[in-house]
């Protein structure tokens, strides 16, 4: 190798090594640094007469107890639905203890995902509906609700809470459906001598550092990239409004916000906080106008993150009663569940709680097909393999033309080598002769690149689909325990034979990125290298070496991807290799595979004609 080529090669390899280790540092290693401990604040002894303005500046509460301690005391009503369980705090009629019965922290399924948590426990997270009369809360944060009757809340047995205040009595009937929707049906009775004008204020409130919260509800999600939207999400007047946690807490502007800091809606909608797979959101009565609000005053003074809805006021004459129905969604963003709320309950764009992204015109159809195939094949893994075939079928003619073009280019390698040597001193003449050769043989040097225009969007859309949808989470396939997680095998644990977790192997400094590579990423590198062997090699030596090194680089890169995505890509490479090999042999082009087989069989390879 010439000195210039040696230098270029070393530079290229250094850049690739830097890329690999940079990727490891930025994306594959979870960001484990914890935010500074949330500031302690003195808890105010709120009364029922607390003003609505004061609600905006409630300080963050220091975590003084464990969740178990916080929910074990009196003053609670237990609930047990088909999909959720927990308890409601009577003080404030607050939904602040909720776990998801069908979803677990790990694949071992030993501990349910806990979504809502009491305010004085770590990562307090809760929701409720208050009532305000003008600037004063008549049903506030710690209002003394009492249960009417006995018993716990179940899917078939609602409960009733009552709050009696001077001049106003509220009877709240709480029910929960088979999934994740709680209904708060409030009957307000004016027991005074004058008319009352009151309005419902929905609140979803979260305490503590958001990344730490993400880590305890879905281990590993805090250190992942930003492909899935996590933060404010809601629909007002048919428009989807979103803001990620970091800019939200930095008080950045939000699209659609009025000068008063509100998001008005006259056509129904919902408003809340979403994580990758879970969401807590307010669903005000859909036939009443409401405003979505982000409590920026609370954020500005170091208080909790709160999003609110304020519905249009109702006026009650003395002795009059009126019933208002509001709802709270607290659970998993399963597509079929969200679709039912949208289609059957009329909650607008509820399926868009799943972050389909800018390529929604691809991600949504991809998910529909995958979900259908999974239901027919009883396996999400087999659904991915079948989906790969369906995706490639319409592109067969395009790829055939591309592979024919590459076959012609591969046949021209020797003539082009001769032209390079013959006209080395005359680049202009060399280019003219090469173009003449292309025209004579009907070859197109960029013909093989056309399919990339289709495969890259498909790859992104599928990556997005598998990443943001809950249905692949903790789904096993063959030796894989979770298709949404990286390959659990590794070179360092002899691909699962040794009792060391792949994550522990990958965490080994420096060499972890090498010995942490699993079976699927290795298969990807092997299939990528096999595909490259069918393509015409670059004439430039340095470029050739860089291209040959790419399968090694991408083996490490794909080591951090979800196993379901790598499974798709490995199978796609295998199908592409078979198709390209067949086309090249039909066009009389020998391949490295053919030569290898011939050497093993002790005879020369003869291309088909």
Q: Which of 63-72, 82-91, 132-141, 520-529 ranks highest by mean pLDDT?
A: 82-91
**What is the number of structural domains in the chain?**
1
| Residue 111 resides in a domain | yes
What is the Cα 166 distance to its own chain's centre? 47
The residues near 599 (Cβ < 8 Å, ≥ 6 apart) are none
| Residue 227 resides in a domain | yes
| Residue 315 resides in a domain | yes
What's the DSSP call for residue 167? T
Q: Does an H or E element contain 116, and which?
A: strand 112-116
591 or 244: which carries more pLDDT confidence? 244
| Residue 448 resides in a domain | no
Round the CA-based radius of gyration of the chain to a whole number and report it: 31
The residues near 56 (Cβ < 8 Å, ≥ 6 apart) are 295, 297, 298
pLDDT averaged over every residue in the chain? 80
Q: Does an H or E element contain 551, and which?
A: helix 541-558
Q: Which of 205, 152, 162 is nearest to 185 (CA)?
A: 162
| Residue 397 resides in a domain | no
The residues near 490 (Cβ < 8 Å, ≥ 6 apart) are 500, 502, 505, 506, 515, 516, 517, 518
Question: What gap in Å lies between CA 170 and CA 188, rounded to an integer?
Answer: 5
pLDDT, tens only, 280-323: 999 999 999 999 999 999 888 888 999 999 999 999 999 999 99
Min mean pLDDT across 432-436, 543-547, 557-561, 605-609 is at 605-609
| Residue 350 resides in a domain | yes
The CATH code of the domain that includes 319 is 2.70.98.90
Q: Collapsing DSSP states into helix, strand and coil, what is residue 77?
A: strand
What's the DSSP call for residue 511? T
Backbone angles phi, psi at 325, to 5 degrees: -110, 120
Q: Indicate if the pLDDT at residue 332 is higher than 50.
A: yes
| Residue 370 resides in a domain | no
What's the DSSP call for residue 26? I
pLDDT at 214: 84
pLDDT, tens only, 196-236: 999 999 999 999 888 888 888 887 666 665 678 899 999 99
| Residue 211 resides in a domain | yes
- What range does the domain containing 251 cover? 45-355
Min mean pLDDT across 77-81, 279-283, 485-489, 520-524 is at 485-489
Q: Which of 142, 106, 110 is nearest to 126 (CA)?
A: 142
């Amino acid at each position: 190798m010439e000195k210039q080529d040696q230098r270029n090669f070393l530079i290229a390899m250094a850049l690739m090594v830097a890329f690999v280790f940079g990727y490891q540092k930025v994306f594959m290693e979870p960001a484990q640094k914890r935010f500074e401990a949330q500031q302690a604040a003195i808890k105010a002894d709120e009364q029922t007469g607390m003003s609505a303005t004061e609600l905006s500046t409630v300080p963050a509460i220091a975590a003084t107890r464990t969740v178990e301690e916080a929910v074990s005391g009196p003053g609670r009503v237990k609930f047990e639905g088909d999909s959720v369980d927990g308890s409601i705090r009577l003080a404030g009629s607050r939904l602040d203890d909720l776990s998801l019965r069908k979803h677990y922290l790990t694949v071992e399924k030993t501990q349910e995902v806990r979504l809502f948590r009491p305010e004085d426990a770590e990562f307090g997270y809760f929701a409720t509906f208050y009532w305000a009369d003008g600037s004063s809360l008549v049903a506030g944060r710690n209002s003394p609700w009492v249960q009417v009757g006995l018993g716990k809340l179940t899917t078939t047995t609602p409960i009733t809470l009552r709050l009696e205040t001077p001049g106003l009595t509220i009877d709240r009937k709480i029910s929960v459906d088979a999934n994740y929707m709680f209904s708060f049906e409030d009957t307000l009775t004016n027991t005074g001598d004058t008319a009352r004008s009151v309005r419902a204020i929905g609140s979803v409130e979260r305490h503590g550092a958001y990344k730490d919260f993400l880590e305890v509800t879905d281990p590993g999600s805090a250190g992942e990239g930003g492909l899935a939207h996590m933060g404010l999400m809601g629909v007002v007047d048919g428009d989807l409004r979103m803001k990620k946690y970091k800019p939200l807490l930095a008080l950045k502007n939000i699209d659609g916000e009025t000068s008063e800091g509100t998001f008005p809606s006259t056509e129904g909608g919902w408003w809340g906080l979403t994580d990758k797979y879970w969401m807590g959101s307010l669903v005000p009565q859909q036939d009443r106008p409401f405003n979505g609000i982000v409590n920026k005053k609370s954020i500005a003074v170091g208080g909790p993150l709160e999003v609110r809805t304020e519905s249009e006021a109702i006026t009650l004459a003395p002795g009059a009663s009126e019933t208002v129905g509001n709802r709270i969604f607290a659970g998993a963003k399963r597509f079929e569940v969200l679709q039912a709320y949208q289609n059957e309950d009329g909650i607008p764009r509820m399926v868009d709680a799943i972050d389909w992204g800018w390529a929604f015109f691809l991600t949504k159809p991809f998910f529909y097909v995958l979900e259908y195939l999974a239901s027919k094949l009883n396996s999400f893994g087999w659904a991915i393999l079948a989906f790969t075939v369906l995706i490639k079928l319409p592109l067969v003619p395009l790829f055939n033309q591309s592979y024919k073009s590459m076959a012609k280019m591969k046949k021209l390698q020797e003539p082009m080598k001769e032209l390079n040597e013959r006209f080395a001193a005359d680049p202009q003449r060399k280019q003219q002769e090469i173009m003449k050769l292309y025209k004579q043989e009907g070859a197109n040097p960029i013909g093989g690149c056309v399919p990339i225009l289709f495969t890259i969007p498909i790859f992104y859309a599928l990556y997005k689909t598998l990443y943001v949808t809950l249905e692949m989470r903790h789904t096993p396939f063959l030796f894989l325990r979770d298709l949404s997680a990286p390959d659990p095998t590794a070179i360092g644990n002899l691909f699962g034979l040794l009792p060391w977790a792949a994550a522990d192997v990958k965490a080994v400094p420096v060499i972890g990125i090498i010995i942490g590579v699993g079976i699927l990423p290795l298969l990807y590198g092997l299939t990528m290298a096999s595909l490259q062997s069918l393509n015409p090699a670059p004439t430039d030596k340095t470029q050739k070496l860089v291209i040959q090194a790419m399968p090694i680089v991408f083996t490490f890169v794909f080591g951090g991807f979800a196993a379901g995505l790598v499974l798709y890509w490995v199978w796609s490479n295998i199908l592409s290799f078979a198709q390209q090999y067949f086309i090249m042999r039909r066009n009389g082009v020998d391949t490295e595979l053919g030569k290898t087989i011939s050497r093993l069989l002790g005879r020369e390879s003869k291309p088909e004609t």
